[in-house]
A and B are shown apart, each in its own frame.
Chain A
């Protein structure tokens, strides 16, 4: 599957099928810090991603100056 990562923007090829939880562990990502997006919706932690899926792993932590 194609995996788009952000900050910095980059792309990986990962072999599927694979659960979201396993993919995040494989990439050493904390599930509290990201969302997994497929198309225009979200994919929960137990979903299985197919080999031909295109997904985005979107970071959710922002750390700019607070007003």
Chain B
């Protein structure tokens, strides 16, 4: 198998592009795909301060590395989720990456800073861990970006992530989510509206949308980036993974199907759902506790804190991630 560019020995075959690449030309391919995504979707302007949301996994570390390579002004942010050894190893990978490149990595720790963790939140709320995890991450990333005065937040969502989310949204016809599923989400004004001088949400971008997760993992291997390979123990069996498996089965039989699905949606369907997403913002106001934008009096993050902070930590092993699992008993500390 030869590299499509230089005819040297290939190290990876990308069937969706009907192309094989040597290591050097594969890395160049990845950079080109990110440049194209940033340009096409007006993600980052020259001089923007970029906050990269870093988990320690392949996508976020590949993203940070690529943005550094492309010359952007980046800092990282990572959240300690308290998911046992998995979270400890994830944070370690993120810290090692930042230290090696002498770049700032801002750290938030759910247990240390807010007196809860994801396993405990799942046990107390009796909901799937991914629910409180995703909501906590979104809230804290937005808050860090706004507090720190960053122009844009970059996240490591890749083509597989976006295709799987799209698949789920179509399967259940979540049209307000379909209207908002874009590679770039523009910043939005605070509850005072345009001209109030405050932002409710920072601009959020997904520069990896043109790369499949097999490609971001390959990028890390070839760049010598140590990322956490182990899967989150709380994610096992979740819907997102099942959608990815289904799409990969289609992709194996029909290379290019995932990208046709996702990019076809962006080109030919997304705009039709935009009014639904616009309408969902109409009633935003400031959370009575923290000032974050919310549709009620108190935002979802503060309501979660009210419910789960102060409970004794529940070990990961006692929280079954998804259906059919055993539930842990929880106890509030006096």
- Enumerate chain A interface residues (CB-CB to B < 8 A): 6-7, 30-35, 37, 40-47, 58-67
The contact of A44 among B12, B137, B241, by CB within 8 Å, is B12
Q: Are A64 and B213 in contact (CB under 8 A)?
A: no
Q: Are A62 and B232 in contact (CB under 8 A)?
A: yes
Q: How far, in angstroms, from A30 to B58 measured CA to CA in the complex?
A: 19
Q: Are B224 and A7 in contact (CB under 8 A)?
A: no
Q: How far, in angstroms, from A45 to B21 measured CA to CA in the complex?
A: 12
Q: Are B11 and A63 in contact (CB under 8 A)?
A: no
B123-167: contact bitstring with A at CB < 8 Å (1 yes, 0 no)?
000000111011001100100000000000001010011000100
Contact partners of B131 in chain A: CB under 8 A: 65
Q: Are A61 and B11 in contact (CB under 8 A)?
A: no
Q: Are A7 and B231 in contact (CB under 8 A)?
A: yes
Q: Are A45 and B248 in contact (CB under 8 A)?
A: no
Stretch at the interface among B31-39, B109-117, B215-223, B271-279: B215-223
The contact of B240 among A37, A43, A66, A67, by CB within 8 Å, is A66
Identify whether the interface residues of B are mostly helix, strand, loop, or mixed: helix
Q: Does B50 contact A (CB under 8 A)?
A: no
Q: Are B214 and A60 in contact (CB under 8 A)?
A: yes
- Enumerate chain B interface residues (CB-CB to A < 8 A): 1, 10-13, 20, 23, 53, 55, 57-59, 129-131, 133-134, 137-138, 141, 155, 157, 160-161, 165, 212-214, 216-218, 221-222, 224, 229-232, 234-235, 238, 240-241, 244-245, 248-249, 251-252
The contact of B217 among A30, A44, A45, A58, by CB within 8 Å, is A58
Q: A41-B222, A66-B161 are in contact. List 4 more A-B contacts (CB 8 A).
A: A30-B248, A44-B13, A63-B231, A65-B131
The contact of B218 among A33, A35, A61, by CB within 8 Å, is A35
Q: How far, in angstroms, from A63 to B157 measured CA to CA in the complex?
A: 11
Q: Please, which residue of chain B has its CB at the minimum distance from the CB of A58? A: B229
Q: Are B222 and A62 in contact (CB under 8 A)?
A: no
Q: Are A67 and B249 in contact (CB under 8 A)?
A: no
For the complex of A and B, 10 pairs with smallest distance between CB atoms: A63-B241, A65-B134, A65-B133, A65-B130, A67-B137, A60-B217, A64-B232, A42-B11, A32-B248, A63-B235
Contact partners of B141 in chain A: CB under 8 A: 67
Contact partners of A65 in chain B: CB under 8 A: 129-131, 133-134, 137, 235
The contact of A32 among B55, B235, B252, by CB within 8 Å, is B252
Pick the most buried of A7, A30, A42: most chain B CB atoms within 10 A of its CB.
A42
Contact partners of B155 in chain A: CB under 8 A: 66-67
Contact partners of B13 in chain A: CB under 8 A: 44-46
Pick the most buried of A30, A40, A62: most chain B CB atoms within 10 A of its CB.
A62
Contact partners of A35 in chain B: CB under 8 A: 214, 217-218, 221
